[in-house]
Structure 1
């Protein structure tokens, strides 16, 4: 973005570095990532609401809908009006609660350790393998998922009054996130060992206050962020349609996208594997491969990259490619194995 001040998005960076093909490639990858994230939001809502209200079922047109599928529909009904909003700035403020929600989830795990009889002295980790190399591809893929959202960095940069302070933003946020993620991982493993589930809230005992706090705070993010996530996809589709009534078109597109994600979320039982696939195949491309390649393409012709920096970036690219290939293969194999 320092090379060209007209750059305001990731596709713009792709255009600057690699021309129209670069813009299209990064656009497709970003839209696929956002679509899968939207699906994961609904899965998260369905699983956790089913944990909070077990055994609920209703009859719809002669069909009994229960459990996760029922709550995916409930969450979709609550989310639908937000997808019709033209101005999503209100949701942007609500989604800022995500920091509080993440901290509350970690605090709930610590609370569970103190209040639970098993605590950290139980046999949760006895017989567990601390280092399981076979699980490394999935672990690395999930690690990259934790740092998704790089697509918004150009928007953050362009909206800042003091753009020279931008490097502090990803640095501080990455450090805080890393600390919170590490603490959550350690608490989850010490409490549940190899029995820890893809969503640690599903391990917490039903009916406990700390379980309700953890689940309720976990539910906030999807409800607030779903519309923000699908908006770029809806706008891209809308821009391709030669229609006059944009308002009605936006409503129809957003509704159709919500319906499609509900169908997938209701039939996909593997939240962890979906996140692993998203991390290895898409997040690695957006957060690692594309920035490194674009940086080299833009600045090497201008002699703005030192040899040590080139070597370091090549090392990062090699790691990223390995994670992308091995992680994607492992996640696809795991997904196929569930059918």
Structure 2
């Protein structure tokens, strides 16, 4: 663990309560990460989203939000990821989970250096100034935005399977049907959740998403044991050419780092966030592993990018699985896009008390923009592989490592920790390069 040897002459971990004027404030303000005279509107805006200490979310509610951020869409694509890499690639899933959990711990340590650090972009600013804030914001918001688009594509695919042939006439010669119709309808249903600004309230919606993820696994198991699908899939032990895609999708399963700082700030007792992270990652890994094994045993290399698309039509388990799948994006869409919306509001909206209408209009526009792109790029599996390989690896692995080392310095960390972080940076870079190239090739081929 990193220690404050240079600042205090001892070996105790650095904490938010440490008074280190030579470390905390000069870094913060000299780099332009946060300005002392910053307009109070931004502070109030953060308070609207991240509850103050006496009104913050409990550990249980934060745990639900964390589980909701980590589980969901990746659960549907995890059998496809296993099919791409083969059975032996499954050993990489807990490895990726452990690395991503450790990265969450690093982000928390970075935040502990200053109480003014409110979100992931602030960590970038703390490390590298305005350029760091811009880089972190770019990758983070792009990841969250594309994940939200993936939610809409998923909803359209599964509703079209559940209600094939559905169409709606909007006038002479204008007919919207199938997947496109359902994407639009789903966005209308999801829109009110985007107007929620308090993560403590959003935890109730998150709880439904967590339950839905567990129910989904049982539905797939029911299809195999009761509805006659069985375990007939013949999978490969190892597919080296598919490993980049598999690793990208595995990483995508744990791409909640962009919202971790927001969740941490929303807690009453922020010192318990580390334990909450461990619980979330262990629970999600068990759920992901179960679904990967079930789906690959059932369908082998024929598994679709969403395992629900393989399930037999008309069976109760299939219908329940799809209905359960539809709950996940509803519960997660707002959680993913809330940091994006908050950042835009702070940048564009003027200070004042009459901001609610403007906030709603801005968040509505964000939803509309995701719908337009979802209608244009309908390749769920390839899109998620691209997000996982490039953006999730960058946000969940590379940026936490780089920011942590730059903020604390190698002199404040043990040699073992520096070596571990260096290894993660190298391997993460290889995964990002290989997975991005592979997924882009597939997207271009689909077009």
With the shorter chain as reference, the TM-score category is over 0.9
Q: Which residue is 1:73 aligned to? A: 184
Q: Which residue is 1:333 aligned to? A: 441
Please state how far the C-alpha of 1:165 moved relative to its aligned partner: 3.3
Q: Which residue is 1:33 aligned to? A: 143
Question: Counterparts of 1:149-164 in structure 2 under 5 Å?
Answer: 149-164=256-271
Residues 30, 282 of structure 1: 8 Å contact kept: yes
Choose the corresponding residue for 1:104, options 215, 221, 231. Answer: 215
Aligned counterparts of 2:402 and 2:294: Cα–Cα separation in 1: 37
Q: Which residue is 2:429 aligned to? A: 321
Change over 3 Å in CA distance of 1:85–1:176 after alignment to 2: closer
Long gaps (5+) in structure 1: none
Question: Counterparts of 1:183-332 in structure 2 under 5 Å?
Answer: 183-241=290-348, 246-300=355-409, 303-332=411-440
Change over 3 Å in CA distance of 1:87–1:58 after alignment to 2: same
Residues 91, 225 of structure 1: 8 Å contact kept: no
Question: Counterparts of 1:112-123 in structure 2 under 5 Å?
Answer: 112-120=223-231, 122=232
SS at match of 2:175: strand
TM-score by length of 1: 0.92
Q: Which residue is 1:137 aligned to? A: 244
SS at match of 1:59: strand
Q: Which residue is 1:167 aligned to? A: 274
Greater Cα offset, 279-288 or 229-238: 229-238
Residues 257, 395 of structure 2: 8 Å contact kept: yes
Please state how far the C-alpha of 1:239 moved relative to its aligned partner: 2.8
Aligned counterparts of 1:159 and 1:49: Cα–Cα separation in 2: 34
Greater Cα offset, 3-12 or 178-187: 3-12
Aligned counterparts of 1:144 and 1:193: Cα–Cα separation in 2: 21
Q: Structure 1 residue runs of 4+, over 4 Å off? A: 85-89, 242-245
Please state how far the C-alpha of 1:321 moved relative to its aligned partner: 0.4
- Root-mean-square deviation (CA, aligned residues, Å) is 1.9
Aligned counterparts of 1:40 and 1:162: Cα–Cα separation in 2: 33
SS at match of 2:165: coil
Residues 349, 355 of structure 2: 8 Å contact kept: no
Change over 3 Å in CA distance of 1:167–1:256 after alignment to 2: closer
Please state how far the C-alpha of 1:85 moved relative to its aligned partner: 4.4
SS at match of 2:375: helix
Long gaps (5+) in structure 2: 1-110
Please state how far the C-alpha of 1:197 moved relative to its aligned partner: 0.7
Residues 144, 258 of structure 2: 8 Å contact kept: no
SS at match of 1:151: helix
Q: Which residue is 1:52 aligned to? A: 162
Aligned counterparts of 1:177 and 1:118: Cα–Cα separation in 2: 25
Q: Which residue is 2:130 aligned to? A: 20
Aligned counterparts of 2:444 and 2:150: Cα–Cα separation in 1: 18
Deviations 1:76-98 (A, max 9, x none): 12122333445565433112222
SS at match of 2:176: strand
Change over 3 Å in CA distance of 1:228–1:157 after alignment to 2: closer
Deviations 1:90-130 (A, max 9, x none): 4331122222111111111111111132412x3x21xx423
Change over 3 Å in CA distance of 1:7–1:167 after alignment to 2: same
SS at match of 2:420: helix
Residues 389, 432 of structure 2: 8 Å contact kept: yes
Please state how far the C-alpha of 1:163 moved relative to its aligned partner: 3.8
SS at match of 1:269: coil
